């Protein structure tokens, strides 16, 4: 998967988790607020129920005091509660604002109705007390009828308060449970979000972006510093990293190709310059082989020149070449690999060289080469000689191209050298045949 696409998916995933977390937090906060409101409503409802009962008790206290003493102030208290303070009415209004269920409202209505009914009994007590008939007045407010009427008020109020408390407590508990559930979900999603972010940083951005880019950067520095053996990794990656890696590999190949061409041109120019200064076939062979064999990373090599009168290839010189008494240094056309190469006029490559074929000898040991390369020297279809090289490693495309280029240049310079040698030989003969004068 491409990095841009994967990054977009990770961003969407993390964004979704963040949205869920924020949503859970907001809803949980809202439920907590509603829970607090439920508890506040419960407290308010309990206070209003108590206020309703207190209003009824205030009326009862005032009427009983007046029935016992006949003092005007108790009558005033009764009238103030009934008509001015209206504690009971205000409590009922507030309870209605809170929002009562049908059952709760029925109980409240019943209590208010019974309280109103009690007022008529209390008025009778006031009339008796006003006539100074305290015995009758006391009988009204302390008798069984009054107590029953009073109980008919307090019992519905108590039941209504209990129902309110149970309902509001249950609602608050439900809200608290939902808030807790959403909080837990929010925490779980938050932890999942953190894990996703850490995972993305370590396993995606770290392994698929940061580390590959660091490796590619190091490879690029190596390329710019022209270090040998620099490799470009992550080329098989199908992401943008892979595209960068493949581009760097193309750049590396182009740089290597340019460097190889530069080295080839340098080697060719050096060999051409050396060959132009050679005045003999032996010097030509020495100048050519001493530069060509190391350039091709070969072990040894030899140059065989064609002697046209005999059509034999004669050894002109070599590099790290060990002459063996049992081997000839002259090969007729078509005889031996040197003669066969000259006859076919095309390069010959031998592999799986026998152990006793030839040895590449150094100061600390010797070994049999793995490959033998023979190349004819042709200048305008004229066969001039054969190059023979021995190496431990096969020729690469670059070294093979270098060998062919050097072979062409060597053939051109060799042809010029042979013409110059022939010209000098003819001049020398001419001088020797001139008549002497006395």
307 and 397 in a common domain: yes
Q: What is the pLDDT of residues 279-331, one digit of tens each?
A: 899 999 999 999 998 888 888 889 999 999 999 999 999 888 776 666 778 89
Which pLDDT value is given to residue 376?
95
Which pLDDT value is given to residue 435?
64
312 and 164 in a common domain: no
156 and 58 in a common domain: yes
Q: How confident is the model at residue 144 (pLDDT cuts 50, 70, 90)?
A: confident
Do 56 and 88 form a contact (C-beta atoms < 8 A)? yes
Q: From the CB of residue 66, how many other CB atoms can be counted at a distance below 10 Å?
A: 25
Do 24 and 207 form a contact (C-beta atoms < 8 A)? no
Which pLDDT value is given to residue 41?
76
Q: Rounded to the nearest 5°, which phi and psi values hold at 325?
A: -60, -30
Which pLDDT value is given to residue 342?
93
412 and 288 in a common domain: yes
DSSP designation for 202 = I
**pLDDT greater than 80 at residue 39:** no
**For residue 38, what is the domain's CATH number?**
1.20.120
Range of the domain at 37: 3-196
59 and 191 in a common domain: yes
Which pLDDT value is given to residue 365?
65
**For residue 292, what is the domain's CATH number?**
3.30.450.40
51 and 172 in a common domain: yes
Mean pLDDT over 336-359 rounds to: 85
Q: 168, 196, 224 — which closes off a domain?
A: 196
**pLDDT greater than 70 at residue 364:** no
Mean pLDDT over 120-127 rounds to: 79
Q: Does 234 reside within a domain? A: no
Domain count for the chain, please give it. Answer: 2
Q: Rounded to the nearest 5°, which phi and psi values hold at 403?
A: -60, -45
Which pLDDT value is given to residue 307?
92
Q: What is the pLDDT of residues 91-108, one digit of tens each?
A: 778 877 777 788 878 887
Q: Does 251 reside within a domain? A: no
Q: CA 139 to CA 130: how far, in whole Å? A: 14
Mean pLDDT rounded to a whole number for the chain: 82
This prediction has a pTM of 0.53
Which pLDDT value is given to residue 176?
83
Q: 143, 176, 196 — which closes off a domain?
A: 196
Q: Does 205 reside within a domain? A: no
Q: Does 204 reside within a domain? A: no
Q: Does 259 reside within a domain? A: no
Q: What is the pLDDT of residues 46-61, one digit of tens each?
A: 787 788 778 778 878 8
295 and 187 in a common domain: no
Q: Does 325 reside within a domain? A: yes
Q: Does 292 reside within a domain? A: yes
Torsion 85-91-92-97 (CA) sign: positive
Which pLDDT value is given to residue 16?
84
Q: How confident is the model at residue 223 (pLDDT cuts 50, 70, 90)?
A: confident
Which pLDDT value is given to residue 387?
94
187 and 314 in a common domain: no
Q: Rounded to the nearest 5°, which phi and psi values hold at 370?
A: -100, -15
DSSP designation for 436 = P
Mean pLDDT over 68-74 rounds to: 82
Lowest average pLDDT, out of 160-174, 271-285, 351-365, 382-396, goes to 351-365
163 and 29 in a common domain: yes
282 and 169 in a common domain: no
Q: Does 250 reside within a domain? A: no
Q: How confident is the model at residue 189 (pLDDT cuts 50, 70, 90)?
A: confident
DSSP designation for 14 = H
**pLDDT greater than 70 at residue 247:** yes
Q: 178, 196, 214 — which closes off a domain?
A: 196
Beta-ladder partners of 374? 348, 388
Mean pLDDT over 334-363 rounds to: 83
Q: What is the pLDDT of residues 4-37, one digit of tens each?
A: 777 788 788 788 878 888 887 888 788 778 778 7
b or e along 410-423 (b: 16 or more beta carbons within 10 Å of the residue's beta carbon)?
A: bbbbbbebbeeeee
C-alpha torsion angle, residues 120, 123, 124, 128 (rounded to 10): 170
| For helices 211-224 and 240-276, angle between their N-to-C axes, nearest 10 degrees | 10
Which pLDDT value is given to residue 340?
93
Which pLDDT value is given to residue 313?
94
């Amino acid at each position: 998967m491409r990095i841009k696409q994967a990054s977009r998916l990770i961003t969407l995933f993390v964004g979704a988790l963040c949205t869920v977390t924020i949503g859970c937090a907001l809803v949980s906060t809202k439920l907590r607020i509603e829970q607090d409101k439920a508890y506040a409503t419960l407290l308010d409802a309990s206070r209003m129920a108590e206020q309703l009962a207190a209003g009824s008790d205030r009326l009862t206290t005032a009427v009983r005091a007046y029935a016992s003493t006949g003092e005007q102030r108790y009558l005033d208290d009764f009238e103030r509660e009934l008509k001015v303070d209206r504690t009971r009415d205000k409590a009922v209004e507030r309870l209605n604002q809170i929002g009562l269920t049908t059952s709760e409202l029925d109980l409240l209505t019943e209590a208010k109705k019974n309280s109103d009914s009690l007022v008529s009994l209390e008025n009778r007590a006031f009339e008796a007390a006003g006539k100074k008939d305290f015995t009758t007045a006391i009988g009204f407010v302390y008798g069984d009828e009054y107590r029953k009427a009073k109980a008919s008020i307090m019992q519905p109020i108590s039941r209504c308060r209990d129902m309110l408390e149970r309902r509001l407590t249950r609602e608050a508990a439900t809200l608290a449970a939902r808030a807790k559930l959403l909080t837990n979900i929010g925490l779980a999603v938050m932890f999942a979000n953190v894990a996703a972010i850490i995972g993305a940083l370590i396993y995606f951005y770290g392994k698929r972006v940061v580390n590959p880019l660091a490796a590619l950067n190091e490879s690029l520095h190596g390329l710019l510093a022209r270090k040998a053996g620099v490799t470009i990794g992550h080329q098989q990656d199908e992401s943008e990293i892979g595209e960068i890696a493949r581009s760097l590999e193309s750049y590396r190949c182009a740089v290597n190709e340019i460097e190889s061409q530069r080295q080839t041109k340098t080697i060719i120019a050096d060999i051409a310059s050396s060959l132009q200064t050679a005045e003999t076939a032996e010097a030509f062979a020495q100048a050519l082989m001493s530069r060509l064999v190391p350039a091709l990373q070969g072990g040894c090599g030899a140059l065989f020149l064609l002697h046209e009168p005999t059509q034999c290839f004669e050894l002109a010189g070599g590099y790290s070449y060990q002459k063996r008494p049992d081997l000839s240094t002259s090969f007729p056309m078509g005889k031996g690999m040197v003669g066969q190469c000259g006859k076919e006029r095309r390069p010959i490559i031998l592999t799986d060289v026998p152990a006793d074929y030839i040895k590449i000898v150094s100061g600390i040991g010797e070994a049999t080469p793995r490959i033998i390369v023979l190349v004819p020297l042709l200048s305008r279809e004229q066969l001039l000689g054969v190059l023979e090289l021995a190496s431990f490693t096969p020729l690469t495309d670059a070294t093979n191209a270098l060998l062919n280029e050097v072979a062409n240049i060597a053939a051109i310079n060799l042809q010029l050298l042979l013409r110059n040698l022939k010209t000098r030989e003819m001049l020398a003969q001419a001088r020797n045949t001139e008549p002497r004068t006395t």
